[in-house]
Structure 1
């Protein structure tokens, strides 16, 4: 059985790599890896950790390219590959432009789509934008839905997805974290001088498209936090998006306890998790990853599709206003009992066996369709 895995961003690579690796151990399966090139260098470092060489390496990303341009470029190229390779199944993960383009293309070629990380919802089509609508559209296309949590399953059931096609398996990002802890090369030595054992390490990331108008308020909160607390050290891998970097230059003040660095490889990023006291982010995947290291997360977004983390207490949804972000930061940095509850809360996103469950399903699917 041939299964095509189509990916283009680093988060997609992190989540699909454990599944691809496990499937390669099955002699009756041929995983076909198609790399669209949305995050070429960032994704390549993840695939290298898992010793995965893409079968097709596309170069679809151009400077300042819009999401619709990525999709328009991807569809005909992916279609040509799928027509030539004739896979039995197409696997996509999450909610990126690559995810939607691949699922849309597979639908037109009548190839069943399995959607990994299915059922996440905010039910606001513009938050996060455009991801919320991509994943809802992929749900309508997909033949099988691998949901990380029971809540994700309930979302799909409310949308009239047949329960027999929904499988709660956890999120493969936790599989990837466990693998990287055991197999990844040593992290970048340049990071070590930024990690001060006598200070609380704050890991900061920002990149959301819908946050661009409010990014200044996030950075103003960071400025105030650094000035108010002399026991914090901030490491900020700055996203390569030039729009993000323009906001950083405009609104984030230079400080000797603020380290603005280029994006780091994933092994080094997980190393930062292991030393972090707190994460401040508008990312989606980090909301799942940081709790695996018992690190609380301040989410600088107006809503999150990962409501399980908010309910569990691992995530604090702080919005995008300076005052609400500072309130969350102040509470975590000054109320020890509150911090300890957030750090000790159980991670609802998986136990490291998601890829095993997905491969088991594929084997059963193959046996039923022979």
Structure 2
């Protein structure tokens, strides 16, 4: 039996790791340990609990208005104690957060194999998104096994000199999580959203929180307000808890009758909101994957993206961060049913609900415990109705 540590710190990491953890716990070949750095402590614990999971070790590194360097240093220091004591056979990290970078570097320092889940994403611009693009490039230099969501991600890694034998195309586990969450969503989680089922206007799910968007957050919020001014749309904003984000957005949108601001939702409630939304306007990486999976047109608050597949298929559109650009793009979809339908029916390139199975299969193959898994084929991910076929068997 191989001991594997899954190191995570943020809610998106918990969401995307949850289907993998569930399968590892059922697999007699593995003994998984869930390690929380505490980067987004409450949201991470809450999200794992929705999947019936819990943390095995909590490092609690969170500090008020923490800096990137401070957070990374505290995670490294904590893992420097944990890893020699527990000595896992592999460390799994996900994506591109401070936790991802620190987890990979700490494992590398202790000569423990690093498995990078959601590997190979590249925007091509080191400063966008910041610091994620830098983090993911650095992790690729020390990872032993690269689990790429798409064939395009694989190509990026090959161009950077990663051997093909070390890359497995799995699809993205966020689709596994979303399909599971959509089946288990019970309520809205917030009283201010209870009337959404009866809402006759189009519902726009809006969010922004990335550091590279901070200078433009007020402009983004003004765009949301102008869309709400139309009278034919209701804007719902699950507002990030970061004080810098709240201080920029709240003064602009507060008090508008057609804007609903809520605290971040429990994951299952968020899945329900994703399914209810008619449009998504966000800088969230997850939204760029979840929107296309649900057939929901998605406007990305960026000029470049590492998730180019949805731009190429037409399921998402880059709209920048200016007020005028956002309003123009959203209005074109609200006013043109043909344009809206074209985006809603575009191909979902990110998953078929079996990415977690491929992830566990790749891990087993790495250790010589099983055959190489079949690779993800995006052709199997055409949107049919509001949910794609091929739901992973994750429910207990």
Q: Same fold (TM over 0.5)?
A: yes
Counterpart secondary structure, 1:302: coil
The count of residues paired between Structure 1 and Structure 2 equals 368
Q: Is residue 197 of structure 1 aligned with residue 207 of structure 2?
A: no
Q: Counterpart in 1 of 2:213?
A: 211
In 2, Cα distance between equivalents of 1:64 and 1:361: 38
Matches within 5 A, 1:1-370: 1-188=2-189, 190=191, 191-227=193-229, 229-252=230-253, 254-367=255-368
| TM-score normalised according to structure 1 size | 0.96
Contact 2:185 2:271 in 1 (8 A): no
2-side partners of 1:97 and 1:189: how far apart? 30
Partners of 2:226 and 2:56 lie apart in 1 by 48
- Native 8 Å contact 1:202 1:233 kept in 2: yes
CA distance in 1, matches of 2:298, 2:211: 20
The alpha-carbon distance between structure 1 residues 292 and 368, as it changes in their structure 2 partners (threshold 3 A), is closer
TM-score under structure 2 length normalisation: 0.90
Does structure 2 conserve the Cα–Cα contact (< 8 Å) formed by 1:223 and 1:253? Answer: no
Instruction: After superposing the two structures, state which structure 1 stretch, 357-366 or 328-337, moved more.
Output: 357-366
- Please report how far the alpha carbon of residue 196 of structure 1 lies from its aligned counterpart in structure 2 after TM superposition: 4.0
Give deviations 1:59-99, integer Å, cap 9, x for gaps.
10011001111111010111211111111110000000000
In 1: Cα distance, 2:137 partner to 2:67 partner: 20
Which stretch has the larger CA shift, 182-191 or 151-160?
182-191
Whole-angstrom CA distance in 2 between matches of 1:196 and 1:69: 46
Q: Give 1:37 deviation, angstroms.
A: 0.8
User: Does the 8 Å CA contact 2:4/2:32 hold for their aligned counterparts?
Assistant: yes
- Structure 2: gaps (5+ residues): 371-396
C-alpha distance in structure 2 between counterparts of 1:91 and 1:15, whole Å: 12
Q: Check the 8 A contact 2:225/2:259 in 1, yes or no.
A: no
RMSD: 1.4
The 1:219–1:189 alpha-carbon spacing in structure 2 relative to 1, beyond 3 Å, is closer
- Contact 1:93–1:116 (Cα < 8 Å) also in 2: yes
State the distance in 2 between where 1:243 and 1:368 align: 47
Distance 1:155 1:2 in 2: 30
Q: CA deviation at 1:186?
A: 3.4
> Are 2:29 and 2:369, in contact at CA under 8 Å, matched by a contact in 1?
no
Return 284-293 or 92-101, whichever deviates more: 284-293
Question: What runs of 5+ residues in structure 1 fail to find an aligned partner?
Answer: none
What is the alpha-carbon distance in structure 2 between the residues aligned to residue 253 and residue 221 of structure 1? 14
Q: How big is the shift at 1:253?
A: 5.2
Q: Is the 8 A contact 2:185 2:269 kept in 1?
A: no
Q: Retained in 2: the 8 A contact 1:194–1:259?
A: no
Judge conservation of contact 1:49–1:183 (CA < 8 Å) in 2. no
Return the offset for 1:207.
0.4
